[in-house]
Structure 1
Amino acid sequence: MADALQVFFDDRAEAEVRVRWERLTAAGVPSLATRTHRRHRPHLSLALGLAIPQKARADLRRDLALLALPDLWLYTLGTFPDGQHTLFLGAVTDTELLAVHSAVHDVLAGRVRGPAGQYLPGAWVPHCTLAQDLTVEQVAAGFAALLPLRPIRAAVSGVGITDTRTGEIDFLLTR
């Protein structure tokens, strides 16, 4: 599996994402909450790789303390055109969010084993996953269950590296 550099939300925003997970579940769409038994925390991923080494983590910890982390607006409901049928809340991609993304990738450049291309600058779509590996019918049911969509303002409560095998989080920054 992988190490994921993730941004976590304040309690209110996390609760709002969980409400959307529950609405999906009630509509018969398997959300992340049902697949991970509520262990999974709502988040936005900045980077993903097979391994993020300790030296890179220390440098990220130092640099994250200096960055102004903006509030996130989870503003759109979407899916990727990759055939995996993921349902997500898309974040508004403003200059502040792009600056944070660019800064962390400057630290990680050449240091992450097996970086995932879809999280690199220029390819990244900032989002909070609601459900994945759905059928086409489940995607349609998910849209029906979540529309109309009310945007979620999410303050950043922390940034950490999640081991996707165990769910363990190495927090680099907490607020």
Structure 2
Amino acid sequence: MAHSIELLLDERADTAIRQVWQALADAGLPSQVKVASHTNRPHITLVAAERIDPGIDEELEWLVAELPWPAVLGAPLVFGGGRLTLARLVIPSDKLLDTHELVYDECRPYARNLFAHCAPGRWTPHVTLGRRLTPAHVAEALTVGGITADLAAGIVGLRRWDGDAKRDFLIG
């Protein structure tokens, strides 16, 4: 299972994204609200890999000391594949891009098989709304309230997700 390092949103943005998840589900569309895990929450994945050693937690405490930061969740976007993933773009500020690159580099010694889509220059910061959508689902999802208006958010926390143990660990 995948492991990841993830930024966490403030309560207002977290609630707004959860409301969109629920609206998608209420419309009969695939939604992250259907992920039945106590660790399921809106987040921005900075780095994902086959495995990330817990030793990285201490190395990333500097980042938590710099929080909170402002962020803007912008337009909806769609990632391709056999089925589609619907997400909200996190407008990539210089601070976010610089931090991503630092975290990616710091994770290298602690990670096995860093996923290519997370590399600097290939990473698209986003918050996932739903997975395994069809093109028709995407068209319908774009009519759901709250999915297109920019959303001011705060980045307030950092966690490491261990997909093997199905646990998250707050950093800092």
Do they superpose with TM above 0.5? yes
Please name the residue that 2:69 is paired with. Answer: 70
Cα displacement (A) at 1:164: 2.7
- Check if 1:47 corresponds to 2:42: no
Question: For residues 67-110 of structure 1, what are the alpha-carbon distances to aligned partners after superposition, in whole Å with 9 as ceiling and x for unaligned?
Answer: 46532210111101334300000010111110110111121124
Q: Greater shift after overlay, 37-46 or 153-162?
A: 37-46
- Check if 1:101 corresponds to 2:100: yes
One-letter amino acid of the counterpart of residue 139, structure 1? V
- Check if 1:168 corresponds to 2:167: yes
| Whole-Å separation in 1 of the counterparts to 2:28 and 2:88 | 18
Please name the residue that 1:137 is paired with. Answer: 136
One-letter amino acid of the counterpart of residue 27, structure 1? A
TM-score, normalised with respect to structure 1: 0.88
One-letter amino acid of the counterpart of residue 152, structure 2? R
Cα displacement (A) at 1:51: 1.3
| Whole-Å separation in 2 of the counterparts to 1:54 and 1:34 | 28
One-letter amino acid of the counterpart of residue 84, structure 1? R
One-letter amino acid of the counterpart of residue 46, structure 1? L
Per the alignment, do residues 99 and 36 of structure 1 end up closer, same or farther by CA in structure 2, a change over 3 Å counting? same
- Check if 1:34 corresponds to 2:34: yes
TM-score, normalised with respect to structure 2: 0.90
Q: Greater shift after overlay, 29-38 or 105-114?
A: 29-38
Per the alignment, do residues 66 and 18 of structure 1 end up closer, same or farther by CA in structure 2, a change over 3 Å counting? closer
Cα displacement (A) at 1:153: 1.5
Please name the residue that 1:11 is paired with. Answer: 11
Q: How many residues align?
A: 172
Contact 1:161-1:169 within 8 A present in 2 as well: yes
Secondary structure, aligned partner of 1:149: coil
Structure 2 alignment gaps of length 5 or more:
none
One-letter amino acid of the counterpart of residue 16, structure 2? E
Secondary structure, aligned partner of 1:64: helix
One-letter amino acid of the counterpart of residue 104, structure 1? V
Cα displacement (A) at 1:23: 1.2
Identical-pair percentage: 26
Structure 1 alignment gaps of length 5 or more:
none
What root-mean-square deviation, in Å, do the aligned CA atoms of Structure 1 and Structure 2 show?
2.0
Contact 2:76-2:147 within 8 A present in 1 as well: no
One-letter amino acid of the counterpart of residue 116, structure 2? G
| Whole-Å separation in 2 of the counterparts to 1:148 and 1:51 | 32
Contact 1:85-1:135 within 8 A present in 2 as well: yes
Cα displacement (A) at 1:66: 5.2
| Whole-Å separation in 2 of the counterparts to 1:47 and 1:35 | 21
Contact 1:75-1:92 within 8 A present in 2 as well: yes
Contact 2:101-2:120 within 8 A present in 1 as well: yes
One-letter amino acid of the counterpart of residue 133, structure 2? L
